[in-house]
């Protein structure tokens, strides 16, 4: 309990709910970080290794992400300690949302994160008998299927293009390395190829492949559909190296789009990219960010670069009780405009203040959250 209380600072969390269900074996946690700007909204992940601290950390990222794109929802995140490949997945998920029926959807609306799919969002809605309980449901249920549309990866590519322009680099002449070829990585690869970039390296849990002349993105996408993470073994013509080597290949743009904490001080010192665009949440440590800044590497922060899914979720939140489906073309148009504009604004503010992009993005987001907290009487008197 002492450690959990130690997580609380001036921003939150406002509520931490730990739940369990003996019969199904379900264990889970919901962290509602800050709702000054609106209802808590963030993804729910399922993994055998979920911890309260991890979920709280990600909930805070959601607070900044919503504020960073200036949409009126609050930061929250949830996690279920379970194997998403288990045959008991549905039962565990149903037990989890039943246990949170006091909070969902009044205080928290579920979204999709690692280990959950559009079909799982449909299960959540069914269990609670409320279309408003979750977003990211399949198209057939009137939802915005994030992974199918590839909205997060699309936004990462748009942010990369804006960062390249700010750095005097044409994306059509850029070499790109992508860590992770899941929903975010593959959608980013597709859009980057459309924008004219050459994808020279990708990786999965099975390893990394690198070709300085460029990889065939369409071929990679097809192999991913058939073989999943084993696509790197099936590509042929280039050797498979250990996971992580893709971070160090010669390239202009590096997109870490897999797990958190992958770029430490050692990697930051040795990577050869001119631009790093954070497709995953929390992929770089603060010390690594400092080293990248000292080396002149442009860094686009996670809650700016990977906010495409959040923008789509915002559409879905507004459409939860509507009989009409959101228009994907409208969603992609807003993602492009928001992420390009936000990337340019953050990099410009970082230059103006002579601070790191993460610091600039955080200042912008914190200013918006603090203003909402002050207006709602959520700060101590005199502040």
pTM: 0.85
Q: Write the CATH number for 304.
A: 3.40.50.720
Task: Give catalytic status of residue 77 as yes or no.
Answer: yes
Residues 14 and 122 occupy one common structural domain = yes
Can you say how many angstroms the Cα of residue 320 is from the centroid of all Cα atoms in its chain? 21
Residue 178 forms part of a structural domain: yes
Residues 250 and 190 in one domain: yes
* 92, part of any domain: yes
334 in any annotated domain: no
- The reported pLDDT for the residue numbered 316 is 77
Residue 149: its pLDDT value, please?
Answer: 85
pLDDT at residue number 281: 86
The CATH number for 11's domain is: 3.40.50.10860
In which domain, by residue range, is 291 found? 151-308+340-363
Tell me whether strands 74-81 and 26-34 are parallel, antiparallel or unpaired.
antiparallel
Domain-ending residue, one of 143, 160, 175: 143
Do 120 and 31 fall into the same domain?
yes
Our CA dihedral for 293, 303, 113, 77, rounded to 10 degrees, sits at: 120
Domain boundary among 143, 168, 189: 143
State whether residue 63 is helix, strand or coil.
helix
Same domain? 349 vs 240: yes
Q: Which helix (H) or strand (E) holds 271?
A: none
Tokens standing for residue 295: 């080396």
Q: Are the C-beta atoms of residues 107 and 39 closer than 8 Å to each other?
A: yes
pLDDT in tens, 261-309: 999 999 999 999 999 999 998 899 999 999 999 999 999 999 899 999 8
Contacts of 177 (CB under 8 A, 6+ apart): 199, 200, 201, 202, 210, 246, 247, 249, 251, 253, 254, 255, 273
Query: How far, CA to CA in Å, does 254 sit from each of 173, 177, 240, 278, 298?
Result: 14, 5, 19, 8, 10
Residue at 353 is within a domain: yes
Q: How many folded domains does the chain comprise?
A: 2
Co-location of 123 and 258 in the same domain: no
SS3 content of the chain, % helix, strand, coil (to 5): 45, 20, 35
Residues 93 and 127 in one domain: yes
Q: Let me know if residue 271 belongs to a domain.
A: yes
Task: Please give the C-alpha separations between residue 52 and each of 28, 41, 59, 262, in angstroms, as whole numbers.
Answer: 9, 17, 10, 20
In this structure, are 104 and 248 located in the same domain? no
Instruction: Let me know if 340 is exposed, middle or buried by CB neighbors in 10 A (0-12, 13-18, 19+).
Output: middle
Shared domain check, 186 and 276 = yes
Cβ–Cβ < 8 Å for 364, 358:
no
Beta strands in 86-187 (DSSP E): 108-112, 175-179
Same domain? 125 vs 166? no
Q: Exposed (0-12), middle (13-18) or buried (19+): which is 305, by Cβ within 10 Å?
A: buried
| Chain-centre distance for alpha carbon 121 | 17
Question: Do 300 and 252 share a structural domain?
Answer: yes
Burial 232-265 (b: 16+ CB within 10 A, else e): bebbeeeebbebebbbbbebbbbbbbbebebbeb
Name the H helices within 231-380: 231-234, 265-270, 286-294, 302-305, 308-318, 328-353, 357-375
Boundary (domain end) residue, out of 101, 122, 143: 143
126 and 19 inside one domain: yes
Strand ordering across the sheet containing 175-179 = 240-241, 207-210, 198-204, 175-179, 253-256, 275-277, 298-300
The answer to the question of residue 67 being in a domain is no
Same domain, 138 and 155: no
Which of 15, 27, 41, 77 is labelled catalytic?
77
Cβ–Cβ < 8 Å for 78, 55: yes
Distance of CA 187 to the CA centre of its chain: 13
Residue 116's pLDDT is 94
Residues in the chain with pLDDT values less than 70: 1-2, 319, 321-323, 381-383
Residue 368 in any domain: the answer is no
Asked whether residue 70 is domain-assigned, the answer is no
Structure tokens belonging to residue 168 = 């005097």
| Cα dihedral 251, 253, 257, 263 sign | positive
């Amino acid at each position: 309990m002492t450690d959990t209380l130690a997580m609380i600072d001036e921003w939150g969390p406002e509520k931490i709910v730990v739940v369990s269900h003996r019969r199904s074996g379900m264990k889970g946690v919901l962290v509602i970080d800050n709702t000054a700007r609106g209802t808590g909204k963030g993804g729910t992940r399922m993994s055998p290794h979920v911890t309260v601290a991890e979920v709280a950390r990600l909930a805070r990222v959601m607070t900044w992400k919503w504020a960073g794109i200036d949409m009126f929802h609050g930061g929250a995140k949830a996690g279920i300690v379970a194997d998403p490949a288990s045959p008991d997945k549905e039962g565990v998920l149903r037990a989890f949302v039943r246990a949170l029926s006091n909070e969902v959807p009044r205080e928290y609306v579920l979204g999709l994160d690692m280990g959950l799919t559009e079909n799982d969002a449909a299960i959540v809605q069914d269990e609670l008998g409320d279309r408003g309980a979750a977003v990211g449901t399949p198209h057939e249920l009137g939802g915005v299927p994030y992974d199918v549309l590839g909205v997060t990866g699309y936004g990462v590519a748009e942010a990369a293009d804006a960062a390249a322009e700010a750095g005097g680099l044409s994306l059509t002449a850029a070499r790109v390395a992508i860590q992770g070829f899941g929903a975010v990585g593959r959608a980013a690869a597709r859009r980057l190829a459309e924008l004219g970039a050459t994808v020279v390296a990708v990786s999965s849990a099975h390893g990394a492949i690198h070709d300085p002349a460029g990889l065939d993105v369409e071929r990679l996408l097809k192999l991913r559909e058939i073989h999943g993470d084993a696509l790197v073994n099936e590509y042929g013509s280039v050797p498979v190296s250990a996971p992580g080597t893709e971070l160090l290949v010669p390239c202009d743009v590096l997109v870490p789009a897999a797990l958190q904490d992958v770029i430490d001080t050692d990697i930051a010192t040795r990577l050869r990219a001119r631009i790093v665009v954070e497709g995953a949440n929390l992929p770089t440590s603060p010390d690594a960010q400092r080293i990248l800044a000292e080396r002149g590497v442009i860094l686009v922060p996670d809650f700016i670069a990977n906010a495409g899914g959040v923008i789509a979720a915002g559409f879905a939140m507004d459409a939860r009780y509507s009989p009409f489906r959101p228009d994907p073309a409208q969603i992609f148009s807003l993602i492009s405009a928001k992420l390009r504009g936000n990337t340019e604004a953050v990099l410009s503010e970082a230059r103006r203040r002579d601070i790191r992009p993460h610091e600039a993005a955080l200042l912008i987001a914190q200013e918006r959250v603090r203003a909402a907290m002050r207006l709602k009487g959520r700060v101590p008197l005199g502040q």
